[in-house]
Amino acid sequence: MLTIVAFVAALGLLIAVHEYGHYRVAVACGVKVLRFSVGFGKTLYRWKPARQRPGQDTEFVIGAFPIGGYVKMLDEREGEVAAEERHLAFNTQPLRSRAAIVAAGPAANLLLAILLYAVVNWHGVEEPKPILASPVAGSIAEQAGLHGGETVKRGGFEGEELRPLRSFEDLRWLLTRGALDGRDVRLEVAQGAAGRDIRLDLAQVQSSEVDPKLFRRIGILGPWTPPVIGDVMPGAAADRAGLRKGDVVLSIGTKQVVDGQQLREVIRSGMAEGRTVRETWRVQRDGRVLELPVLADVAQEGAAKIGRIGAYVGAPPEFVLVRYGPVDGIVKGAEKTWEVSLLTLHMMGRMVVGEASLKNLSGPLTIADYAGKSASLGLTQYLVFLALISVSLGVLNLLPLPVLDGGHLMYYLWEAVTGKSVSDAWMERLQRGGVAVLLVMMSIALFNDVTRLFG
């Protein structure tokens, strides 16, 4: 139920903001707006404000299906317009006014994203400290000389000025952008009193999608956590071996264990000829050191077999409150919106040329799933989710597809360059092509949704 409510609320808000952008600028440009609708299909609720702006007689409507919306304006191409109202019609407005009205919808979504990110920045978020866990064996991070336990102070792309990284999420975002853009990342790390620079060669990653395998290749999977055993599943390998919640793992066989990430990797890789190997674990429990023989269970992960003990491994990481002041919060919100917009466009471009997997496309089922999960984690996470979807909606609508706002802006660009509007015949052909492209994209996104959720 929470998933449905969170999904409908998210769609309703984002669509209403998008259409309000069109509506508000249309009114400011002197265009008569006949209807402002959020949703399609059967009308659930309608009203007309008693007081309206001069020249306006707008009906506000909520439809049964919140999958879109529209602002219907007076337009000679859609019906007869009285001579005395011709100056209020959309099609009679100057080119700059028509372009501003069309662009206002996506712009409203991007402004909403800035505001949502700013609210999150002002409120503050508890995020893991940027302390690195042990890198994956043979990964880029290990080759760069990272060992685990280092605190990341600053980071950035090769050739650019390094910026402070206040949390592990800042680091993860930097690594994601670097891997997808094929750009090397520089980190300034400290361990104890010593500090040094690290260069991560992410140009060699060549990732087509963001998935757990991407971060395994980079080698930085999560923040540092102590090697502590958490909840133990009854009857699983950990329970059979006598491991208990709160046990601190000191070593496995001859390997010294320094953090939770290394412990997870040792458990996963403790295989020989497709079978797990029984090893002696030295654990600390209530001030005593115990030695326990542990035989992990075999689990299938894709085409590979890995070891699992049936227990939560690693205690929660250290957290830090990331909060910004009034001005910095807005600036950081604008920066995040800009970065997410560029990354979205970059990924779309790579998908078009075949350099990125179409698996990155998500549809309504995945969005609904994320809406429910983010809402269950609290208001802050839900606001971050709304900001991300608002950016995506704004960028998507600016794409030069005829049925989207970006397509209409392309028509106006043609008109500005040639002095002639696009003919009705060409308009119809382009509209059909745009609808076909959107249907293909929606079909792929829906297939990806079903595969992710039910595959």
Task: Catalogue the active-site residues.
Answer: 19
Task: Print burial letters for 89-101: b (CB count within 10 Å at least 16), e (below 16).
Answer: bbebbeeebbbbb
* Rg of the chain on CA atoms, in Å: 27
Q: What is the 3-state secondary structure (H, E, C) of 3-52?
A: HHHHHHHHHHHHHHHHHHHHHHHHHHCCCCEEEEEEEEEEEEEEECCCCC
Cβ neighbour number for residue 352 with a 10 Å cutoff: 9
Q: Write the CA distances from 281 to 243, 254, 266, integer angstroms.
A: 9, 9, 11
CA angle 332, 28, 84 (to 5 degrees): 165
3-state helix, strand, coil in the chain (%, to 5): 45, 25, 30
CA torsion 120-170-214-177 (nearest 10°) is 90
Cα 139 to the center of its chain, rounded Å: 25
C-alpha 271/C-alpha 297 separation (Å) is 10
Contacts of 90 (CB under 8 A, 6+ apart): 26, 31, 73, 74, 75, 98, 101
Comparing CA positions, the residue from 307, 333, 320, 310 lying closest to residue 253 is: 307
Name 306's bridge partners: 299
